[in-house]
Amino acid sequence: MSKVVDKFLTYVKIDTQSDEESTTFPSTEKQKDLARLLVKELTEMGAADVKMDEKYGYVYATIPSTLKDKEKKVPVIGFIAHMDTSPAVSGKDVKPRIVENYDGRDILLNQEKGIILPVKENPELQDYVGKSLIVTDGTTLLGADDKAGVAEIMTMAETLLKSPEIEHGTIRIAFTPDEEVGSGVDYFDVPGFGADFAYTVDGGALGELEYENFNAASARLHVHGYSVHPGSAKNKMLNAILLAQEFQNLLPVHENPASTEGYEGFYHLEKFSGVVESAVADYIIRDHSREKFEQKKAYFKDAAALMNLKYGREVLTVEMTDSYYNMKEKIYPENAHLIDTAVKAMEMAEVTPVISPIRGGTDGARLSFMGLPCPNLCTGGMNYHGRFEYVCIESMEKCVEIILNIISLYAGC
């Protein structure tokens, strides 16, 4: 079994699921269980400056430079992955299984429960015929998002620390909590991290390279109704549930996740609760274009104002907060070398780069606006946030090779 697989299988068995309803940071203490294990492993393999932030759960470490020419100036590179798994599906008692020499057919995940990973709904499985896949038992997610990234960075670290003859500059690594609930870098120590730039290792299929993501905002719509007895409600009742429905109907019908792709943005109603007297609707607003993003936010507020005007009272109030912005603003043109180098590193590993926009966000997006330019590299995982998640072993091994190539290219060795 390869190093990266051995590490990955260990990490996914540790429950690190984050909690979007929590008011603490990290949102769950159990994320620190993996953090402590990583600290132990990094210390044992000889990394320097190994540190766990006991309050917030971050793990930091250094792989010291091995350059023979001490006068040579090379950048300090960072590599970052997150330890938590999505709240969408349980990450407890994960039972990974290796499917060797995959034959291209449906994969039986759980015979007792009759759970199957079907090719019909996952045609990309055909790309992995003859390779080895790690799958779930169909009752939990796998955790490749982002424990594949964690395992790949840790394998890179061990490779370099055990092979001092490989010349490279100073490497900084970090592992973060709570990425899945949008607060992963709230307390990240950018100055202390000390990297000139970094890569998050948190993408999907082999070859993915991402430096564009959504501009993102969250919006909470408070709906104020008026409840009276249905028998005497004429011209009096204002049903908050119906008011919320009326507001939703004011939003562009095709600007929703089910009708958009690529660079197209959307409004997404994530959560709703209410009775006649009051209701709350939680939305997310997304667009790659900063201009269109601002227009979407303005339209949302204008729709609420229009309804208030119609009813002659404040039936709707809006709370809106920006979440993150498109990191492309911080990558191009000033830091385009990050993408050029990653492309070359992939080609050296005989991997075809696939540059595409992220229809979401990463820790790297926020870090880029905190002064640490940080595009996103692939991990080899697929079907994130669900029980049909899987990862290709050969892809994980190639991801480690790509990271090592990036380090070599920046060292000029």
Say if strands 59-63 and 48-52 run parallel, antiparallel, or are unpaired: antiparallel
| In the block, residue with structure tokens 């023979």 | 68
Q: Determine which one of 15, 84, 167, 202 is catalytic.
A: 84
Q: For every residue of the chain, which 3-state class applies, written as one string?
A: CCHHHHHHHHHCCCCCECCCCCCCCCCCCCHHHHHHHHHHHHHHHCCEEEEECCCCCCEEEEECCCCCCCCCCCCCEEEEEECCECCCCCCCCCCCEEECCCCCCCEEEECCCCEEECCCCCHHHHHHCCCCEEECCCCCCCCHHHHHHHHHHHHHHHHHHCCCCCCCCCEEEEEECCHHHCCCCCCCCHHHHCCCEEEEECCCCCCEEECCECEEEEEEEEEECECCCHHHCCCCCECHHHHHHHHHHHCCCCCCHHHCCCCCCEEEEEEEEECCCEEEEEEEEEECCHHHHHHHHHHHHHHHHHHHHHHCCCCEEEEEEEEECCCHHHHCCCCCHHHHHHHHHHHHCCCCCEECCECCCCHHHHHHHCCCCCCEECCCEECCCCCCCEEEHHHHHHHHHHHHHHHHHHHCC
Neighbours of 184 (CB within 10 A): 29
Annotated catalytic residue 363: no
**Are 146 and 389 contacting, i.e. CB atoms less than 8 angstroms apart?**
no
> Is-catalytic flag, 179?
yes
The bridge status of strand 376-377 relative to strand 197-201 is parallel
Separation of alpha carbons 244 and 283, rounded Å: 12
Given the residues 179, 287, 389, 397, select the one marked as catalytic.
179
For the chain, how many residues are written? 413
Catalytic positions, written as ranges: 84, 179
